Amino acid sequence: MRVHIVPCGDKYARKHHAKTIEKLVPREEIILFENEKQLTSTLKDDAYACWGVTNAKNNSNFKNWQTMQKDDICIMYRNKTFFSCGKITAKFKNKEFSEYLWGSKEDGQLWENMFLIDEIKEINVSIEVLKKVMGYKEKFFIQGYTTFDNESSEKIVAAFQIPFFEKSFNNTALKVEIERREKMWMEIQKIQNIRPLTAEEVRSTGCYGSARGIWRDIKNTSDITPSGKGVCVGISSRGKYEDDFGEETGTHDYPKTEMRGQDSADIESLRSAMQLKLPIFLIRNANEKGELINSGKRRKVDKVFVLYDSPEDNSIVITFSEGGKDDYEIPIEEEDSFQERETSIKTTKSKKRSQEVFRKKLIKRFGPKHCVVCDALPEVIEAAHIRPVKDNGGDQSGNGIWLCKNHHSLFDLNKWSIDPKYLEIIPNNQSSLNSLQIMRSNIRHLKYPPSKKALEWRWKKFNKDQDLN
């Protein structure tokens, strides 16, 4: 699967977008113009979104377009934002049809390298996300129609949290698998209610059967996914000390073995489990009583869901929550957006929040944990909300900042704050930067500072608090 980015900002593109994306092109018209008559049987819908690119200088667009295949993903871009995505249904080269739909460019070029897009969905992702995930320089910009190879495309789809395209999975096979996992879980619980499972029982129930850390069960799950890589069934966290599980959520690191092809297939299978909202089984070591221990002969099995994928730090977040991903609010966020939690609850009907996911988003935005005002060790760094959750602050990365425990407490006690305009660190009337052990005078060293709106809210509260004292 490849990602194709289509800039949609210039005067032509805006017109085309209104004419053949917002309004669809009827199936009859497409078939009428199509010269090879191959599409007649494949096009099922009454109308399709349609786009075309010129050959461009040195045929650069044409060469990119040649790599396009059915089920690739097309992403529309304008004003530094990726605003919609869809699935490629078909492509064809057709001068007459493109001229009929869009005319020609001033220099006579035609948008003759055409394609049809289906299942168009709105997204809202800043160009900064692409820069970060691809490691591009600050000054990078989208110059024209752009395509990415398979590996980069996977990364982009994950980072953009491209909504799941229902048609690409096999729903019949999926239904069978949902039932199979339900039965498996019942079988596991039957034993686990009395005593912890043995390693043999873990294998015989089918919830785990690999030595790789991730069990995809190709035989039973490959039919579900178009790639044939399958959907993760179980993950083993036995003796994996990087994994970190709390009461409700936890992180699990991506596999990293000598077999890189296997690793990437395993990671893809975790993403599929997330998209399909299929439960997976978490296997950990236990003692005879069923208590978790570092190494033991017995196994504790939990039913969990993949909640969030974090390619930036090579891990996923899982949740033990019965409702899975649906219980959490994970909006496709624009990095700089700042939405009150109250309003986001209304739009997404969210019930829970995950500090773990919030932390992942801060890694995406700010990089590794580092207190913004001192040099404290990573072990004591926390993900702080600028507008607190109790005051309806949301979990967008723009509402967060890395702070050590000390500076987090002092921040919440209003001993210091950040001036939203110049990003200066301002101590309260009774304190000084020195007395607060703050080593910086501003946070302008951050490549992407927190959301201005969040800082403004906090600044207002800080000043109000000062007036009261």
**Distance (Å, rounded) from C-alpha 229 to C-alpha 214?**
12
Residue among 74, 93, 92, 72 nearest 83 (CA): 74
Q: Nearest distance from residue 7's CB to Zn ion, in Å?
A: 42
Spatial contact of 231 and 272, defined as CB atoms under 8 Å apart: yes
Q: Nearest distance from residue 365's CB to Zn ion, in Å?
A: 18
Q: Does 370 bind Zn ion (CB under 5 A)?
A: no
Residue in 87, 216, 359, 407 binding Zn ion, rule: CB under 5 A: 407
Q: Nearest distance from residue 453's CB to Zn ion, in Å?
A: 24
CB atoms within 10 A of CB 431: 16
Backbone angles phi, psi at 35, to 5 degrees: -85, -25
Q: Where do the H-state alpha helices sit in 193-326?
A: 199-205, 218-221, 260-276
User: At residue 401, what is the residue type?
Assistant: I
Structure tokens at 117: 């897009």
Query: Residue 50 in 3-state DSSP?
Result: strand
**Distance (Å, rounded) from C-alpha 450 to C-alpha 337?**
10
Stretch in the footprint of Zn ion (CB under 5 A) among 46-54, 290-298, 344-352, 397-405: 397-405
Backbone angles phi, psi at 397, to 5 degrees: -60, -30
Stretch in the footprint of Zn ion (CB under 5 A) among 93-101, 225-233, 254-262, 366-374: 366-374
299's CB contacts (< 8 A; 6+ apart) are: 196, 197, 198, 199, 201, 202, 238, 283, 284, 285, 286
Stretch in the footprint of Zn ion (CB under 5 A) among 85-93, 180-188, 360-368, 375-383: 375-383
Here's the x/- map for Zn ion, 315-354, by CB under 5 A: it reads as: ----------------------------------------
# chain residues binding Zn ion, by CB under 5 A: 5
Q: Does 404 bind Zn ion (CB under 5 A)?
A: yes
Length, in residues, of the chain: 469
Q: Where do the H-state alpha helices sit in 197-259?
A: 199-205, 218-221
Residue in 156, 371, 383, 423 binding Zn ion, rule: CB under 5 A: 371
Q: Does 306 bind Zn ion (CB under 5 A)?
A: no
Stretch in the footprint of Zn ion (CB under 5 A) among 6-14, 27-35, 371-379, 455-463: 371-379
Q: Nearest distance from residue 183's CB to Zn ion, in Å?
A: 51
Spatial contact of 249 and 395, defined as CB atoms under 8 Å apart: no
According to DSSP, the residues that pair with 51 across neighbouring strands are 115
Question: Toward Zn ion, which CB reaches closer, 279 or 450?
Answer: 450
Matching residue, tokens 């006579």: 108
Question: Toward Zn ion, which CB reaches closer, 13 or 371?
Answer: 371
Question: Toward Zn ion, which CB reaches closer, 123 or 374?
Answer: 374
User: At residue 207, what is the residue type?
Assistant: C
Q: Nearest distance from residue 386's CB to Zn ion, in Å?
A: 15
DSSP one-letter string for 80-93: TEEEEEEEEEEEEE
Q: Nearest distance from residue 218's CB to Zn ion, in Å?
A: 48
Q: Nearest distance from residue 109's CB to Zn ion, in Å?
A: 57
Q: Does 376 bind Zn ion (CB under 5 A)?
A: yes
Query: Residue 168 in 3-state DSSP?
Result: helix
Question: Toward Zn ion, which CB reaches closer, 371 or 454?
Answer: 371
Q: Nearest distance from residue 443's CB to Zn ion, in Å?
A: 12
Stretch in the footprint of Zn ion (CB under 5 A) among 58-66, 325-333, 365-373, 385-393: 365-373
Contacting residues toward Zn ion, per CB under 5 A:
371, 374, 376, 404, 407
